Amino acid sequence: EAQVTQNPRYLITVTGKKLTVTCSQNMNHEYMSWYRQDPGLGLRQIYYSMNVEVTDKGDVPEGYKVSRKEKRNFPLILESPSPNQTSLYFCASTHLAGGLTSYEQYFGPGTRLTVT
Amino acid sequence: ILNVEQSPQSLHVQEGDSTNFTCSFPSSNFYALHWYRWETAKSPEALFVMTLNGDEKKKGRISATLNTKEGYSYLYIKGSQPEDSATYLCAFRGNAGGTSYGKLTFGQGTILTVHP
């Protein structure tokens, strides 16, 4: 089954404790992206990757890191989480051939992160 | 951060009513406009990707139009049903060169509630 998986789905952590949210897709997609969703602010893009070893900042990259060492995985790293990073996080992927308009974006199930 | 706005913020209609929402976006460096449907406790689901001025797309009772010169898109739902209740998101892709078309800016969404 074609899917995007995220782990963990729920996480409560404390300020400053480094954490990684994993994202994996089994569709051989070139493009992957991370978003956060906050009430009243909609979805905001954190980082995106056009392919292995190619990553770019979205609209809200501060406090986050990403890496794309393999095509299928795109982990989101919070080196020193703070309470303002409490949010619902979504990973998504798309096939890139023909441009990003040719294929729909598949979203993962979301990770709800609480930083106390 | 680019300005992508949706109106209205929320909408309540009766079953069988037809309705429409608006997404406004920058009219320069246009690459694509996406529409998503997002049900509570689920992940966003792609509805349409629109690229050309004057584009019209249709999926069942849902259709969308695009005006890139003036920077707006309309989403129409004909004969609304309770299962259409969801948040409808639009997202803008610009192209300012390089891999910038990988950046996706979402509107805040229109919350549609269809009453039986």
pLDDT of residue A113: 98
Judged against a pLDDT cut of 90, whether residue A101 lies above it is answered with: no
- Closest Cβ opposite residue B43 in set A42, A45, A110: A110
- Closest Cβ opposite residue B106 in set A40, A42, A50: A42
**Which residues in chain B have their CB less than 8 angstroms from residue A9's CB?**
none
Distance CA A92, CA A37 (A): 13
For A58-94, the pLDDT digits (tens) are 999 999 999 999 999 999 999 999 999 999 999 999 9
**Which residues in chain B have their CB less than 8 angstroms from residue A91's CB?**
none
pLDDT of residue B100: 81
A33/B1 touch (CB, cutoff 8 Å), yes or no: no
Vertex B46 angle, CA B83 and A41, to 5°? 85
Helix (H, G, I), strand (E, B) or coil at B115: strand
CA A92 from centre of chain: 7
Distance CA A71, CA A76 (A): 14
Q: DSSP class of residue A65?
A: E
Q: How confident is the model at residue A1 (pLDDT cuts 50, 70, 90)?
A: confident
pLDDT top residue among A95 and B96: A95
Structure tokens at B21: 């929402």
Vertex B38 angle, CA A34 and A22, to 5°? 25
Helix (H, G, I), strand (E, B) or coil at A85: helix
pLDDT of residue A84: 96
Contacts of A100 (CB under 8 A, 6+ apart): A31, A94, B31, B32, B93, B101, B102
Q: DSSP class of residue A105?
A: P
